Chain A
């Protein structure tokens, strides 16, 4: 057992971190997702990780860094569909069978859409899709949405087994991204608590604020351990129950990102309620990602299903 980043994984993390710092500062992120973002992520190898022989634990390290920088775009779908679908690709997951509108993310940029449903995975060219109705005010400004009627057509990429595998891997990498959001919120808040002064001292010296920050750090660290355990279990299924590990990771990472987003808003005081400060971008993305690849309720139920069942 060596449950820590290997030297290669540390180098990977540092490389992606400096890529994000150089190419995806807040100002660029706020411009939203476009083809240049996709191209630069592609050039950095983010989308081709699997083809290049990296494991899920490596990918988790990369996606956490993307989350830390709130990088916009359908990056998890790009990773999943790499090698099977050309161009910019987004996706929708219809396997849960919940009624409701189909929201396609980044409709105006994509070349193709992949659809997961009970029959498996299929790909639709963007040109075969309705224009759809743009959602005028999307909750997350960096995740633009269109309501679209999905046609039945498309190229079949695989059956239900592929859909299940993508759902699991998608949940694990989304969880890694969410841990990055949680960590990013903690860093923003700790920096602000050092710098913001009230009553003649930094607000981070007050226990009422310090304890919020301590809880943010703990939530992040616990969720990160869960995500890394899930990724390691996907890489080596002999070490545990992958379904349970991934469900737990998505559940905890999702809650850590939302709870930390809310806590960060509180620590930033009035500034946390402004458009100008980045905190809301983290919280809104956390909410948006909480709705994909299984909700927290779905995942809690999935973990519960692995426990001894009810005996009358």
Chain B
């Protein structure tokens, strides 16, 4: 057991630090939260710079243009980019961390060739189309229907909570292809080109007063059968492959970034009780980072990050909300002004992170998963 990075990982970090020091000062200012076209430009431009410098798709295999880095190097990348306050993954999130990895494992040769290089270069932005108004935690009860008609599926229904719906070129869409099968067996996973006729995207105004998510209405949209990922009616299994990426690693960047928030809040606290509280939160964040290092080690050794990965999403999202509460108490009435320079980032983050314990599987669903998969407890009986 040791925590010392390999010489190769250290060298990688040093080289990356140098590159960041060179490129970050030349970046344009970050666009406004609700200016989606500008956000798309900014985030995809950053992705293109990473690509040109050889830092795109660290986790991706070389055959798809990635760097095939070890999980340790990926962690070093997140530590260095966060410490330098470089842009985060932004609108490239679904493509890089969700859809891309899913296509690598489950996509056809054509689908991989068509989409993976484009995602990596920042040429293609993806959005998500999983949840429906009546299929949230019980996602498998989804009702958006796809009826086969020649070489197309004709898709009708409604999706909700589509991250990056306004700027997505493609959506990851799950639909019901067999209404008569048991609910987990009649689902298929489709690549949805967002410019097809019959698609309407309506932004949802969130508690932030901005629009991180959209509703997507599908009215007889003709999606080519060639856009299906995997076999017909095997979509639930593929969706769980997607989730394993989302819940396993997608939060590591946020977790590392949280250290900068702790360091930002600390100089604002004179009250000894609140400092003690922040000390405890800092200790917990250190521990979550150590657990991440454990998961990274397991992933390197066995290919499976182990039980810690199942726990990370739950533990991190709840930590983040407790931290947010402390930051609001520290700010006091200054925190009532969303544009006050002292605390704007902290207050906005408090609002944004209200979603963390809901999105990507609520904390309640995470506890069921830990209880049933890890502790082997029986499922709750179905109501009679």
The interface of chain A, by Cβ under 8 A from chain B, is 1-6, 9, 57, 190, 193-194, 201-202, 204-207, 210-211, 213-215, 217-218, 221-223, 225-226, 228-229, 231-233, 235-236, 238-240, 244-245, 247-249, 251-252, 296-297, 299-312
Contact = CB atoms under 8 A, between A and B. Distances in A.
Contact of B290 (A226, A305, A310): A226
Contact of A308 (B9, B267, B380): B267
B312 to A, nearest CB: 9
Contact of B266 (A201, A307, A312): A307
Given A214-B370, A225-B291, A248-B287, A205 B378 contact: yes
Contacts of B290: 3, 225-226, 228-229
Contacts of B360: none
A236 B3 contact: yes
B262 interface: yes
Dominant SS at the B interface? helix
Given A1-B297, A3-B293, A217-B311, A304 B279 contact: yes
Interface string B65-109: 000000010000000000000000000000000000000000000
Interface string B227-256: 000000000000000000000000000000
Given A308-B267, A310-B270, A239 B3 contact: yes
Contacts of B296: 1, 3
Given A3-B294, A4-B297, A235-B2, A304 B377 contact: no
Given A4-B297, A221-B308, A226 B278 contact: no
Nearest to B285: A248
Interface of B: 1-6, 9, 72, 262-263, 266-270, 272, 275-280, 282-284, 286-288, 290-291, 293-294, 296-298, 301, 307-308, 311, 314-315, 364, 366-368, 370-372, 374-381
Contact of A303 (B263, B279, B370): B279
Contacts of A204: 371, 375, 377-378
Contacts of B269: 310
B282 to A, nearest CB: 5
Interface hub of A238, A247, A300 (most chain B Cβ within 10 A): A300
Given A57-B1, A228-B1, A308-B267, A218 B370 contact: yes
Contacts of B378: 194, 201-202, 204-205
The 7 A-B pairs of least Cβ separation, nearest first, read A304-B279, A248-B283, A210-B371, A226-B287, A229-B290, A307-B266, A303-B279
A214 B313 CA distance: 13
Contact of A251 (B272, B283, B315): B283
B5 A1 contact: yes
Contacts of A222: 284, 287-288, 291, 311, 315
A304 B267 contact: no
Given A1-B293, A221-B291, A229-B287, A301 B368 contact: no
6 contacts: A3-B297, A202-B378, A204-B377, A221-B308, A303-B286, A311-B267
A301 B290 CA distance: 20
B2 A3 contact: yes
A300 B277 CA distance: 7
Given A205-B380, A218-B311, A311-B267, A210 B372 contact: yes
Contacts of A194: 376-378
